[in-house]
Structure 1
Amino acid sequence: MGLSFELPYFPRKGLVEDVLQILTSGLKQGVTLFAPRRQGKTSFVRHELIPAAHELGWKTLYIDLWRRRGEPELALVEGLEAFLEARRSGWKRRLRFRQLRAKASAGAAEVESTLEPVSFTPDAVLENRLDFALSALAEKDVTLLVLDEVQALAGAKREDFVAALRTVIQKLQGRLLVFYTGSSREGLNHMFRQQRAPLFASAMPVQLPDLGDDFIEDRMVFLAERTRARIDEASLRNAFERLGRTPEFLNEVILHLLIAGNGNIDAAMAKWMQSHTETGAGALLEELRPLELALMNMLAQPGHPSVYSTESVAWLSRWPDIDASLTTAKIQAALKRLTRMELVAPTGRQGDYEIEDRAVLLHLRAGT
């Protein structure tokens, strides 16, 4: 985007209180928060949950599993080991860097990729390293472990890893609390909701509150403080609706308004769409195969047919470069790849899928 300025955080009313009430009740050791990307889950963690945990005297560690989603189990174990090494000897001593972004600020630790501590002698069994690291992490203080984009673990190559994670967490009850965030409904079901899921019934879900008129009013105050241009509140509210009520997207539009300094929301929206076409959604769609792109375009249509219906096959067959002998097996294979890319997810209704990435959906509906 090229827009690095961060707008003031707008709190999610009542959410941190709900999370802390669950975690301090002793009834559940974990909490899950699943919502589409760019809705503000990570901002909530950094601006509200971690500071609140510190006020309770808890130690916190944040690990983003999406940074290394091809090997999420390694991302978790090495992130834990990096934190232990940092706590013991400082962030910069005896650490080898490998695809790393790590930082510590305001008492919180974050590991966004991976560190390889020299002083650790890794066990050949990853599950043993996990057990050792988590046990050491929660050895003295109550610790809140935040696992961002936890659905990445649904694709872990080691089948026993998530089961081992649950076992260790249960062993550390009373000392280790876990806050899981994710953006994939498929991953949520695979990890937590299905009867045979590895973390079934181990955490209580909470909902991310929608932002409404109070969010728009707050953004209007921000704009009034920083620009003399007249901003129409109804137009800004309409832009929020057009953006699928996605806070990150509206903040980006507001930044375009600040740069232009003219209050023209339609022009700011056009700039926003252009930037995502060039560097985000547009670039992503260019990587898709013809049938995958056709499916994405069909799913972007309001009231689209079931993906395996006769109507769907006929619609897809008319798409350029689609084989006339299109079969449901080919459609299923394309959907499986799109699901792995976390572009689409089943809704729970038979044969019904939806686009999970809001930027991609808006891009397709705009017809660009």
Structure 2
Amino acid sequence: MSVNFDLPYFPRDGLLQEVLRVFESGLKQGVTLFAPRRQGKTSFVKHELLPAAHEFGWRSYYVDLWKRRGEPELALVEALEAFANHRGLRQRLRLKEVKSKAKAPGAEIEATLEPGGHRPDDSLENRLDAALSALVKDGVTLLVLDEVQSLAGAKREDFVAALRTVLQKFQGKLLVFYTGSSREQLNAMFRKQRAPLFASTMAVQLPELHDDFVDDRLAFLAQRSVATVSKREFVQAFDDLGRTPGFFNELVLHLIIAGDGDLGKAMNAWRKAHVEAGAGAQLESLRPMEMAVMQLLAMRDHPSVYSADAAEFIKRSIDDAESVTPAKIQTAIKKLMRLDLVAPTGKVAGDYEIDDRAILIQLREGLL
């Protein structure tokens, strides 16, 4: 199993200021922050955005849609109703249990709800409208929807359109911050309705972390362990882990637990933990062509998937005399995107990358 541990938060220079400028401009109701998992989106929300909202006097509510991604529309509505009931704004549901989980402003509330007060004809869309109507009564309200791509799988086809309509209704009172990690599912949401959900939003980029982040983790390691690791080796380890802060923090914890400064052993422990947690399990069901595409994309500075060099690499990988055509490669890419294994980079048309960093790292090392 993977190691979970909260190291001190490392701020993202300029990101909070950029988000607040968008909100304060009044030109956009929402901000989107999309990046692969383990990059620090949720940490930014909880350590920077929600405390800043508190300082501004905004009411803020955080909903993690990933926790109930099998029924995200119901999860969103029940979370909003729980917030409203917790504040005593609505009495239409009976709450069996309410837990406040926040250690900082912007409480995340978990509740078990019994639909005691709803009429049989109360639709989720009506409940959504009623809950948000209650929450936006007292000044500016910030709603954070984490892993919003979960709504791409909503069972009710009209729910995303209804959400957009309700959000627009409260423009000027309600600000929305969306995070997401699955770009293919997010694109599906863009295409799902005639009026895209994010038409009234502005996208911001998660700043990359550099050597100053490595210095910070090195200083933390020195505080917690007598073992020493060279900065050069630490920088290399960060690069080997795809410059993914969540993975690097796990590596730091392995070093603290071992206490011997053996970075190679800590890296092996990290790899073993992710393999045991199921990293790469999806690859077992892939066909040879699809697996070859994954291996191609795992290469540093790999050629375009539709290039002659890529076709030659794939042909050698599958050991098949049959010609490898762009159409066959495209079919493989589409399946890999549906599995959330691959996503467009957004930099150049037809440019793709492996979306799951743990799989990327282990493919590069030949462990899968």
Aligned CA distance change for structure 1 residues 322 and 71 (closer, same or farther; 3 Å): farther
Partner of 1:356: 355
Aligned CA distance change for structure 1 residues 337 and 197 (closer, same or farther; 3 Å): farther
Partner of 2:113: 116
> Do the aligned partners of 2:184 and 2:338 also contact (CA within 8 Å) in 1?
no
TM-score by length of 2: 0.86
- Deviation string 1:64-89 (CA, Å, 9 cap, x unpaired) is 12222233222212221222233329
TM-score by length of 1: 0.86
> Do the aligned partners of 1:345 and 1:355 also contact (CA within 8 Å) in 2?
yes
Aligned CA distance change for structure 1 residues 223 and 117 (closer, same or farther; 3 Å): same
Aligned CA distance change for structure 1 residues 257 and 353 (closer, same or farther; 3 Å): same
Partner of 1:26: 26
How much has 1:105 moved relative to structure 2? 4.2
Aligned CA distance change for structure 1 residues 244 and 127 (closer, same or farther; 3 Å): same
How much has 1:315 moved relative to structure 2? 4.9
Letter in structure 2 aligned against 1:343: L
Aligned CA distance change for structure 1 residues 64 and 367 (closer, same or farther; 3 Å): same
Aligned CA distance change for structure 1 residues 26 and 276 (closer, same or farther; 3 Å): same
> Do the aligned partners of 2:64 and 2:147 also contact (CA within 8 Å) in 1?
yes
Q: Give distance in 1, aligned partners of 2:50 and 2:31.
A: 14
Mapping 1:56-205, distance limit 5 Å: 56-88=56-88, 94-95=94-95, 103-110=101-108, 115-121=112-118, 123-191=121-189, 198-205=196-203
How much has 1:117 moved relative to structure 2? 3.7
Aligned CA distance change for structure 1 residues 79 and 336 (closer, same or farther; 3 Å): farther
Q: What SS does the corresponding residue of 1:60 show, helix, strand or coil?
A: strand
> Do the aligned partners of 1:193 and 1:200 also contact (CA within 8 Å) in 2?
no
Aligned CA distance change for structure 1 residues 119 and 194 (closer, same or farther; 3 Å): closer
Mapping 1:1-368, distance limit 5 Å: 1=1, 3-88=3-88, 94-95=94-95, 103-110=101-108, 115-121=112-118, 123-191=121-189, 198-288=196-286, 290-304=288-302, 306-307=304-305, 315-316=313-314, 332-348=330-346, 349-368=348-367
Q: What percent identity do the matched residue pairs reach?
A: 62
RMSD: 3.2
How much has 1:352 moved relative to structure 2? 3.7
> Do the aligned partners of 2:149 and 2:186 also contact (CA within 8 Å) in 1?
yes
Q: Give distance in 2, aligned partners of 1:292 and 1:80.
A: 41
Q: How many residues align?
A: 363
How much has 1:331 moved relative to structure 2? 5.1
Letter in structure 2 aligned against 1:68: R
- Deviation string 1:140-182 (CA, Å, 9 cap, x unpaired) is 2321110011122233333322222121111112221100011
Aligned CA distance change for structure 1 residues 262 and 336 (closer, same or farther; 3 Å): same
> Do the aligned partners of 1:59 and 1:141 also contact (CA within 8 Å) in 2?
yes
